[in-house]
């Protein structure tokens, strides 16, 4: 089992003081940048310029999570900008095999995200093409939501599926990550955790990152 990774979500950071907010989480394993177009999800946030700003102010790997309707058109922009991983939603991606090849060619890792109601069977043929499977544990679009309990079974099923294939695939979860839910998600088999409110609403964000990582490591699948 790989070491658990904590990726704070900058959606929950104070955007007016982004440099300082990134500094607060310098002990994290990566940074999660949401991009929302107000079409695929009912909210608008981020874009290539924000990602470039984040990349210029951190040495941490950045994963861009594209919650947009035309990821086939835009994902390569984020790979070219220098993101470590570019994650698109299976539900919105028209040609996922071709896009995965293109993102890899540009030197980035390929992530594929599933909304809570999208079954794992939909992603199964694509597993050999990707580096990270993102299972949404809330309905995408807004920060601060509660973790959807039925997703624990989906995480466990994904980990079994990956294990059966002998694949080194990271399973990331995004939504409702707290000190309580991270333990259960780690037990189920997740190993990359997007944490927004749990980190940025803490008085000491770096301590919150360390605590979450410790809890996940202590209950790793």
One-character DSSP codes across the chain: -PPPEEEEBGGGS-GGGHHHHHHHTTTSS-EEEEEEESSSSS-EE--HHHHHHHHHT-SS-EEEEEESS-HHHHHHHHHHHT-SEEEEETTT-S-HHHHHHHHHHTT-EEEEEE-TTS-GGGTGGGGGG-SEEEEESS-TT-SSPPP-TTHHHHHHHHHHHHHHHT---EEEEESS--HHHHHHHHHHT--EEEESHHHHTSSSHHHHHHHHHHHHHHT--
Q: Is residue 118 within 8 Å of residue 89, measured between CB atoms? A: no
Catalytic positions are: 34, 174
């Amino acid at each position: 089992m790989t070491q658990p990774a904590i990726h704070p979500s900058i959606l929950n950071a104070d955007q007016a003081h982004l440099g300082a907010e990134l500094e607060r989480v310098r002990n994290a394993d990566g940074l999660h940048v949401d991009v929302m177009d107000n079409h695929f999800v009912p909210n608008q946030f981020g874009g290539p310029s924000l990602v470039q700003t984040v990349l210029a102010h951190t040495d941490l790997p950045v994963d861009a999570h594209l919650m947009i309707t035309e990821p086939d058109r835009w994902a390569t922009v984020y790979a070219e900008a220098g993101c470590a991983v570019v994650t698109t939603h299976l539900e919105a991606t028209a040609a996922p095999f071709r896009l995965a090849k293109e993102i890899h060619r540009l030197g980035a890792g390929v992530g594929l995200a599933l909304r809570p109601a999208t079954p794992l069977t939909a992603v199964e043929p694509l597993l050999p093409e990707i580096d990270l499977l993102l299972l949404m544990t809330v309905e995408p679009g807004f920060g601060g939501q509660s973790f959807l309990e039925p997703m624990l079974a989906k995480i466990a099923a994904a980990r079994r599926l990956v294990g059966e294939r002998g694949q080194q695939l990271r399973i990331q979860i995004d939504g409702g990550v707290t000190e309580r839910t991270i333990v259960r998600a780690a037990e189920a088999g997740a190993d990359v955790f997007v944490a927004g409110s749990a980190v940025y609403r803490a008085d000491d964000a770096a301590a919150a990152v360390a605590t979450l990582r410790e809890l996940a490591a202590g209950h790793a699948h």
